[in-house]
Amino acid sequence: MKKICTSFQEAVVDIHDGATLMVGGFGLCGIPENLILALAEKGVKDLTVISNNCGIDEWGLGLLLNNKQIKKMIGSYVGENKEFERQVLTGELEVELTPQGTLAEKIRAGGAGIPAFYTPAGVGTPIAEGKETKVFKGREYLLEEALTADFSLVRAWKGDKMGNLVYHKTARNFNPMIAAAGGVTIAEVETLYEIGELDPNFIHTPSIYVQAIIEGSQEKRIERLTISK
């Protein structure tokens, strides 16, 4: 059995100043919103955050950004956050932008124990500056190093007390690979089941990748609500 936390504050208690943190989600879909709220309340600072994006101004990782808790952001998209833009332009925030597919593979490779890989994405662009390139079958490829983190925060639909996780549709996104790439992975689940209640044929993240788990409800905010007339 994994550590089953009784509060979100307990779940993030070991996350320290200067930690490298991976956070699941795509936009606001599938983000571990309660764990992020607990981190904002805890006030840890100088974090290096690896995530597809940095939330929006008033929700998700944007809360940590507003609190000046993030020192460096590694991601692929930053277009929904005005405070992010302001901090970058004023030099308050270091940013490393990575093509989305490359980011996903850097995280997946980190979880798989692969230190680096070659990709054609980014060749001939500023992303390639200072990086090794190599030609395979007449095409140039760029060497990219894998990513890992001290802590990974993920969100799942279902989990059991062993730490097995099941995601819901597109809320899966970056969560499984991030779960595998963290030294300590903390999972926020909508419903926590007893061991044996989840069908093992439909487990997305095996329990070996999860060190702590907590049950909680989410607001599931929508970034841009669009409705038909």
Full pLDDT tens readout for the chain, 229 residues = 689 999 999 999 999 999 999 999 999 999 999 999 999 999 999 999 999 999 999 999 999 999 999 999 999 998 788 999 999 999 999 999 999 999 999 999 999 999 999 999 999 999 999 999 999 999 999 999 999 999 999 999 999 999 999 999 999 999 999 999 999 999 999 999 999 999 999 999 999 999 999 999 999 998 888 888 8
Q: What are 25's strand-pairing partners?
A: none
Q: What are 193's strand-pairing partners?
A: 160
Residue with tokens 């989600």: 25
Residue 79: predicted pLDDT: 79
Residue 1: predicted pLDDT: 62
Instruction: At 91, list the tokens.
Output: 């030099």
* Contact criterion met (CB below 8 Å) for 197 and 189: no
- Burial class, 54, CB count within 10 angstroms (exposed 0-12 / middle 13-18 / buried 19+): buried
For residue 5, which of 188, 223, 229 has the smallest C-alpha distance?
Answer: 188
* Cβ neighbour number for residue 14 with a 10 Å cutoff: 13
Mapped onto helix, strand or coil, the DSSP state of residue 82 is helix
Residue 26: predicted pLDDT: 96
* Per-residue exposure over 19-30, b if at least 16 CB sit within 10 Å of its own CB, e if not: bbbbbbbbbbbb
Residue 53: predicted pLDDT: 96
Instruction: At 48, list the tokens.
Output: 């290096």
* Contact criterion met (CB below 8 Å) for 39 and 45: no
CATH 3.90.199.10 assigned to 16-97+148-215: no
* Contact criterion met (CB below 8 Å) for 152 and 181: yes
